[in-house]
Amino acid sequence: MSHPYQVAVIGLGAMGMGAALSCLRAGLHTHGIDLDPAARERLAVAGATSVGADANAIADRLDAVLLLVVNAAQVRRILLGEQGLARRLKPGTAIMISATIASEEAEAIASELTAQGLLVLDAPVSGGAVKAEAGAMTVMAAGPQAAFDRLQPVLEAVATHVFTIGERPGQGSTVKIIHQLLAGVHIAVAAEAMALASRAGVPLDLMYQVITQAAGNSWMFENRMPRVLSGDYNPRSAVDIFVKDLKLVAQQGQALNFPLPLASAALNQFLNASNAGHGQEDDSAVIKAYAGITLPGAKS
């Protein structure tokens, strides 16, 4: 490619900001798109080629678009809505859809974009904000080889592990949804264990030390429970994100006529926490669904 590779990262939340910074570090001409002026400013200071509230003005110079937004409605609005980006992109531009969405939505959106001459990768990601910023995410990608090829500079910048799930968009989202079953259950059961410790009078910092050095540990326990210990529920990933994701898990199970009892229990706990007013807090706030326990105070 004779000209510098240009990528727009749309959605500069915890994961998107990390991905954009990783693209910058890899030497890609990176454009940051977000409605939040503070997020745009942070990326501009880091050296972004441009920042903006939408990508329309820069669409014709892009080689790739990476979407790290919350849900399918946002993906569809950004790409295919009234002011949609898709019609402004050059034919052959690659779009990497990394939101966690239903597999049939990923397939349908990819089909519409492909009909407009664009290359699409259904490519959900995992790893959390720290791995995103280190360029060490895990990508579960499905799409045509041409999309993988066109997005290779972006994939190399943001990920340590890129799994090729298949050639049909939707397959990547299926794998991510199964992953989210475990992620959601692990957070919910970590909260349940710590809630029980609180009720039993076991110091939570001691309980955390024991579990993280023993067989009951999980990545989610080790990552999320320090937030409970410090009383810091500022959202990295919110309770309502797992309400959404575990609903996608439930829908997948229903579509296959397959029972998912543990995923259903976890969904109910996130729903309980959301219903109690904690939906926009960090997902570790699912522990607040338990009554009659004392938790460490809010971080000042």
Residues annotated catalytic, as ranges: 176
Distance CA(118)–CA(96), nearest Å, equals: 11
Distance CA(103)–CA(122), nearest Å, equals: 9
Maximal CA-CA distance, the chain: 65
Q: Are 63 and 31 in contact (CB under 8 A)?
A: no
What is the 3-class SS of 19-70, one letter each residue?
Answer: HHHHHHHCCCEEEEECCCHHHHHHHHHCCCCEEECCCHHHHHHCCEEEECCC
Distances (CA, A) of 149 to 63, 119, 279, 285: 12, 10, 39, 40
Phi, psi of 218 (to 5 degrees): -145, 165
Distance CA(230)–CA(241), nearest Å, equals: 22
Distances (CA, A) of 98 to 9, 122, 210: 11, 7, 36
Q: Is the dihedral of CA 216, 222, 226, 228 positive or negative?
A: negative
Start-to-end CA distance of the chain, whole Å, equals 50
Beta-carbon count within 10 A of 239 CB? 28
Distance CA(293)–CA(300), nearest Å, equals: 21
